[in-house]
Chain A
Amino acid sequence: MFVGVLLLAWISALVPIWAAPVLPLEGWYEQLALVQLWSHLGDARWAVERFYARALAPVPGWTQLGLIRALATVLPVETAGRAWLSVYALALPVGVARLADAFGRSRWLALFAFALVWNLPLAVGQASFAAGLALLAFAVAELELLLRRPSRGHAVAVVALGLLLWLTDAGAWGFFVLAAIVLCATTRPAALTLLLPSVALALVGARAMPSGDTPTTWPAMIQRLADAPSSMVLTFGDRAYELLLLLGGVWLILLLGARTDEADTQARGFRLEALTLLALLLALTLPADLHRPVELGGAAARFWPVVALLLALAPHGPLDGRRRLWLLPVLAIVILYPLGIRHAAMTLEKPLHGARRLAELVEPGASTLTVAAFDPEPLPFGPRVHVVSQAHAFPVLVAGGFDPALPVGFPLRRTGLLPTPPSLGALDPDAIASWDHLLTFGEGFPYERLGPDAQSRFPLDATDGKWRLYRRAARSGAVQP
């Protein structure tokens, strides 16, 4: 029955993944564009090598971009991305169920994890961290099982998952290391040696990762607490807060209604609670963004979903008989919430439809400069998720070319670039002469940015809604190294 319920919730979680024309995930299409370029290295028509080369160091991101790249050999890249998200949407609750088993909790509590599939790190471009959450659950579970009943299989799993975690996300891997210290310290300290391979890999990989010198900011404690709820789930309007309140209420009932034997045999101490405390300390003490030794954006806030996942498993005691009925509202929420996300995501279609359609007109290998004015239309996903600004990735997804806004480092590094004007307000046609296309959004009238004299050099190719595509009349394609 548990498997059936899990599948039902998973099917609902798939709805926004597959039914929403545009996914409400910041940075998602930029990441897909990177995979697309990676897939087309060596393709003469795309000539990606003009601007990019492989940069395949042992750094975080492999589990996301590498897997999508592998799937993209048989699927279109956007479909591959959705398939990856589908696997993630199942892996997270299954991992939490495994974690529940390992720490003597009811696996039914893993239903709460479906609400956290759509978490804020995923929504703001940290999909790797979201995947890291799923792997983290498996890794910690395997470690706990190893400590309780040492076996070669568990040991191999811990080593493998540790390596995989580093190749997924540095924050998730870091938490795993700290969690391992906490768990092993009082049972089998020698088990910490199983982390050495991943530590070695991390030391090698960290050298290839950028670090910044931006001043570190430390949010006030009160601000951290105030931001905690919105840091957990993908927010759109008040829906997410209603969801948190309802889930919190059910969780509280389960927590307060727990009954166990005198020794609390299943839970065996407060080991899981210690990990929760660890996650809470990280959320309350880390800086807003970590710049050294590696760049880790949203360092503190990304641990709130970890706190939420671990807290979800806090209730001790079995969930059987009538007590299990309390999970009905949870099931209802985890089924309806993704449907709500999908419904809200439909509103993203309108502002981006034009960009996607015009991008189809770009020929392979052409470079498109995208200039999008701020769209005052309020989107439903709160102030932290910006989707329209990703429109520059659509021409790259279709045709490749150079894009100054793509986040390079892994799996590609830049080898050449096109001159990009420092200001994208009024554009000088001479300054953008190397670009094949100009894609604009929000112009009051045609040639508002280029000026009326640019008509012969950048004729208007097509219009769709507020989007306009200009095509350079003659190719020069001067590439700067």
Chain B
Amino acid sequence: MIRRAWQEDRARVLVFAALAVATVLPLWVGRYLPLLDGPNHLSAIAIWHFEHDPRFDFDHSYYLNKAPLPYWVHYYACHLLAYLVPVEVANKIFLTGYALALPLGAAALARRFGRSPWLALFAFPLVWNFNLAEGFISYCAGLAACVWGLCLVDRHCERPSVTSTLAVLGFGSLMYFFHLLPYMFFLVAAGLLVLAQDEPLRIRRLVERGAPVVGSCAIGMWAYVHERSLGFRSISGERNFIFDPLGEVIAHVPGRLLNFLSSGRDEWVVAVLACSWIVLVLAGARGRDVDPRRPFGLYDLRAELCFALAVACVLFLPRSMHRPFNWYMINLRFVPVAALFGALLVRGDFAGRRRWLFAPVAAAGLFYAIDVARMIVVFNRHVDGFDELVAKIPLHRATITLAFQPRSDPEVNVDCFNQWPSYTQIRRGGYNFYNFNYGFPLRYKRSRPAPLWNHPEMFNFETMGRAWDYFLTHNEGVRTSLFPALATEGKVVLVYESGPWKLWQRIGEPAPEPPVTDVPLNAY
């Protein structure tokens, strides 16, 4: 594919390569990525990988549930890579794969839809979209996979064969193991592609093209029927969806696109991309004067159908779900999806000097990627000290990490310290009160008392302190101060302090291991 592209248009390959390097760069310039849910995914992978490793005692505190549920691709891929590299590096390799797969998939899809592959330049800044900032890694990876999946489906519809049937069936089923939302989007979009072909309703063609797509639903249906036996926390009762008013949905759209950085520079990137898109549309209209016009069918509107589907998801899906399980931010996750397919709406050939019209797009993508890399470098300076501090915690000792307000960083738009306790667990093992407790991939075997993640100031030493040996705090003293008073009372001693981090040790006997008990899954 790359060789063909090189022969077709070397400039495009070079620009893509430059943007690919720039887009991947932020993943590797700093150890810590300020992704909100990111640390908890990492700890889930670490527990999975080091389940029986005596250094970490994970099997003392957790059962593993490896039922066939979404997130498997992310977790298992990183688990396999963790045999070669550390868990954090494995996750970065996975993210690198995502960061390359999305724009390359967009280029492939553009070509399938008869659009210029140059349009995939819009996909590079979309790699670092707000969903990734929130740590929805499986979702983002699922989106990239979805794009490739649609390429497969379209190719299969063009020339059905046994191989392509199996490929669509396999890939479509694999989509389930990324994330439910891209999986369902893929199924519907693939269905639209099937119906957009020539002679869509001729029985034989419909069966040939549609069978693997329908077959891909099987895994989802099976999981729906067997949800209770899969061990994932679901809440009985009438389904409960939360819908936002249309005005609120539209008002939130800009904030769900890029919006990674606390500055307004990423919004300027959006403005530049939007203006460039309009210029490309107008330029693309030139020279397309066709008289007489040829018949226009659904086949020519495949990109438009995918775009319309993504927009419909934004407008008509609920914002959140509380039953059968708690699911945060559903509809607005599709804003970057709509933007991705929106970019592919541009028609027209962009060859020769016309390629220069993409210069602002490339520049915006480069600028944004470098700005994100800069942000990560600065963020890592802000968390400096954490590594030395954690290294001082002995193994096999109960440690609680309390992230006090402010839980955000000046550089980032998400509260990236919400789930920082997971990093302590990844390094030193043991029990972490703040893991995702939904039944996959882990269930708690024991329980230790701790305050809720969003109220660390509610930590009560009398009722909770004895369960822990070490207390690692972030931003203690900025708005809340607990442990200096305890130190004055002789209950704890400050072991180490660096930047916003403090490590306190409880004075007294080591914390006892709590008994094995049936710890309920999180109820919402």
By a beta-carbon cutoff of 8 Å, the part of chain A in contact with chain B is 220-222, 224-227, 229-230, 235, 237-238, 240-242, 244-245, 252, 255-256, 258-264, 267, 270, 273, 277, 280, 284, 311, 314, 316-317
Contact = CB atoms under 8 A, between A and B. Distances in A.
Nearest to B296: A257
Interface majority SS (helix, strand, loop, mixed), chain B: helix
B345 interface: yes
A222 B286 contact: no
A152 B250 CA distance: 47
B278 A222 contact: no
**Most chain-B CB neighbours within 10 Å: which of A221, A260, A314?**
A221
Given A256-B345, A260-B288, A225 B254 contact: yes
A279 to B, nearest CB: 12
Contacts of A225: 254, 267, 270-271
B281 A255 contact: yes
B360 to A, nearest CB: 12
Contacts of A280: 271, 275
Contacts of B315: 245
B268 A241 contact: no
B254 A259 contact: no
Given A241-B246, A277-B275, A280-B275, A258 B251 contact: no
Contact of B285 (A222, A258, A273): A258
Contacts of B285: 258-260, 264, 316-317
A314 B282 contact: yes
Interface string B239-271: 000000111001111110001000010011011
Interface in B269-289: 270-271, 275, 278-279, 281-282, 285-289
A284 B271 CA distance: 9
20 contacts: A225-B267, A226-B252, A227-B251, A229-B251, A241-B247, A256-B345, A259-B285, A259-B289, A259-B290, A260-B285, A260-B287, A260-B289, A261-B287, A262-B286, A262-B289, A264-B282, A273-B278, A280-B275, A316-B285, A317-B285
A270 B282 contact: yes
B347 A256 contact: yes
A221 B265 CA distance: 8
B201 to A, nearest CB: 24
Given A225-B267, A245-B315, A270-B282, A235 B247 contact: yes
Contacts of A242: 246
A245 B279 CA distance: 21
B341 to A, nearest CB: 12
Contacts of A244: 250
Given A222-B255, A225-B267, A235-B247, A273 B279 contact: yes
Contacts of A314: 278, 282
A254 to B, nearest CB: 11
Contacts of A238: 245-247
B286 A221 contact: no
A258 B279 CA distance: 13
A314 B281 CA distance: 10
A224 B275 CA distance: 16
A55 to B, nearest CB: 40
Given A245-B315, A255-B281, A314-B282, A221 B289 contact: no
A245 B251 CA distance: 12
A226 B254 contact: yes
A258 B250 CA distance: 27
A170 B264 CA distance: 28
A13 to B, nearest CB: 23
A207 to B, nearest CB: 35
